[in-house]
Chains A and B, each alone.
Chain A
Amino acid sequence: KAGVTQTPRYLIKTRGQQVTLSCSPISGHRSVSWYQQTPGQGLQFLFEYFSETQRNKGNFPGRFSGRQFSNSRSEMNVSTLELGDSALYLCASSLGVPGQGMNTEAFFGQGTRLTVV
């Protein structure tokens, strides 16, 4: 069974540009979450999608957005990039069935390393 796939693995962008990151969850998983990991702030929750709907959102500016497609694949977009957006962006997938809480764990991809110059 294939794991969570994130593309690309590495990305270099210039300040002011925008970027789109992609995440393909494990087959059958309907929940996709995104996290930002930096040395200073650690791992921070961005947002979570289930069946194409955003269920949870973290405390990030509106420049950070995401979406989920009918096949559960997800993308996140960052517009008007700032130097501080340089980070490892991690995607996690779960079965995500409502009412079952965290009975199923989150499986993480290898991440996309974004560098803003």
Chain B
Amino acid sequence: AQSVTQLGSHVSVSEGALVLLRCNYSSSVPPYLFWYVQYPNQGLQLLLKYTSAATLVKGINGFEAEFKKSETSFHLTKPSAHMSDAAEYFCAVSEPKSGGSNYKLTFGKGTLLTVNP
């Protein structure tokens, strides 16, 4: 069974500082991995996805993530935090099924990012 662990339910950074949100996954097959962002009272917006192509994935709003199979990790980074980055971030995994699609996402518990002026 697949699972996702996000280390740190709350991360606080200063504006302009590096953002690092950690995600480790467990999967019996090579997974697809995603990072989503959620603003208050909103749905989820996809930041980036890994689907077995390049291990360093660039997403929207300056975010990127690196897939490390040996560490079963998919940490999200941004070089310089903006106030507008304050939101909750979710890492998700999906296990592709051969011969068909698997659109079941398993999410981590989320990390609330606070950006201080």
Contact = CB atoms under 8 A, between A and B. Distances in A.
Nearest to A45: B104
Interface residues of A, number: 33
A47 B44 CA distance: 17
Counting chain B residues whose Cβ lies within 8 A of the other chain, the interface size class is 20 to 34
Given A42-B110, A105-B34, A31 B46 contact: no
Nearest to B52: A101
Nearest to A107: B46
Main secondary structure of the interface of A (DSSP, over half): strand
A110 B101 CA distance: 24
Interface of A: 4, 6, 31, 33, 35, 42-45, 48, 50, 55-56, 58, 90, 92, 94, 96-103, 105-111, 113
Interface of B: 32, 34, 36, 41-46, 49, 51, 90, 92, 94, 96-97, 99-110
